[in-house]
Amino acid sequence: MTDKRLRWQCGMAVAVLLLAGCSDDKGAVNPTPTSSAPQPTATPTAVTSTPVPPTTPPTASATPTPTTSVPARRVFRYQPAWPFTSEARAAEWQRSYRSGGHQPWHLDAAETALAFTQGFLGFKDITLITSRSIRGDEAHVGVGFQIDTGRKFTAAVVHLARIGQGKDAPWEVVGTRDSDLSLTSPRYGATAGSPLTAGGRITGVDEAIRIEVRQASTAKPLGTLCCVAAGGERTPWSGRVSYRGATDPVLVVVASAGGHSHGTERFAITAVRRS
């Protein structure tokens, strides 16, 4: 009995040792394959990455549109008094200037104002530029002469504006900025037939006001009235003048006074439409 019990105990011990060597602590033991043939191994599969499509571009509404800077078109808001009768005439000069440099003084507001005073109006005593103010397409140029004390005297402040398109658009006389001698009738830009009544105010003593009707395309006046006696402190004056031969769409009415120290000491203009 003792020998049998000993053999049984030894067999149990061997069985326990075999079980302990083939198990782990996370789950059941898998049976060990009995075949000694090598087991097939899994063939590694090449891992390929799927290309990520590029980010979808923004829609057309969100895409910034490149802008092209287009210069604004110059709008001429005045009556073309001198030297051009229209924007088309100004463009003709531009073409001749670009091709041959013809009459470059049109690009200088001060020279244009003096040419208007001396050449067109015929006021030869007025020889100096006394002031100038240029802002964009607008210019105010004082013209006058030198008196005995050496001081410059302003006979009028000529108003000019650029006419036409482009950087080389010329200057056009459109009126005057009035002070001691004003010309308020006929109204600027009004339609005026012949005869017309011109009038305004004047400050001075023993003045004689000469009235002329002119047009840019003609050297001589279309009509003249000489002279209207006036004087005082901002005293009203008026005169009626007839004219003929008008062909330009715009007429220039001129009032001037002088005779004390110079033939023409003050003047004013306005521009009206031909009826």
Q: Does residue 263 form part of some domain?
A: yes
CA angle 241, 243, 245 (to 5 degrees): 175
Report yes or no on 41 lying in a domain: no
94 in a domain, yes or no?
A: yes
Contact 134, 122 (CB under 8 A): no
Answer yes or no: is 33 within a domain.
no
User: Per residue of the chain (275 residues), what is the pLDDT tens digit?
Assistant: 444 443 434 344 333 323 233 334 433 334 333 333 344 334 344 444 444 444 444 444 444 444 445 457 899 999 999 999 999 999 999 999 999 999 999 999 999 999 999 999 999 999 999 999 999 999 999 999 998 888 999 999 999 999 999 999 999 999 999 999 999 999 999 999 999 999 999 999 999 999 999 999 999 999 999 999 999 999 999 999 999 999 999 999 999 999 888 889 999 999 999 99
8 Å CB contact between 214 and 242: no
Residue with tokens 């003609």: 218
Residue 92 within any structural domain of the chain: yes
Count of other CB atoms within 10 angstroms of residue 232: 13
Q: Per the domain annotation, does 221 fall within a domain?
A: yes
Question: Could you give the number of structural domains in the chain?
Answer: 1
Q: What is the CATH number of the domain that holds 201?
A: 2.60.40.2550
Per-residue confidence (pLDDT) for residue 71, from 0 to 100: 56
Q: Which residues contact 212 (CB under 8 A, 6 or more apart)?
A: 221, 223, 224, 225, 241, 253, 254, 256
Question: Which residue in 230, 225, 228 sits closest to 204, CA to CA?
Answer: 230
17 is a domain residue: no
Q: What is the pLDDT of residue 72?
A: 77
Q: Confirm whether 203 is domain-assigned.
A: yes
Calpha distance 85→219 (Å, rounded): 14
Q: How many angstroms separate the CA atoms of 163 and 173, rounded?
A: 10
Look up the domain containing 194 and give its range. 87-274
Task: Tell me what pLDDT residue 259 has.
Answer: 85
Give Cα separations from 182 to 3, 118, 228, 264 (angstroms): 154, 20, 14, 15
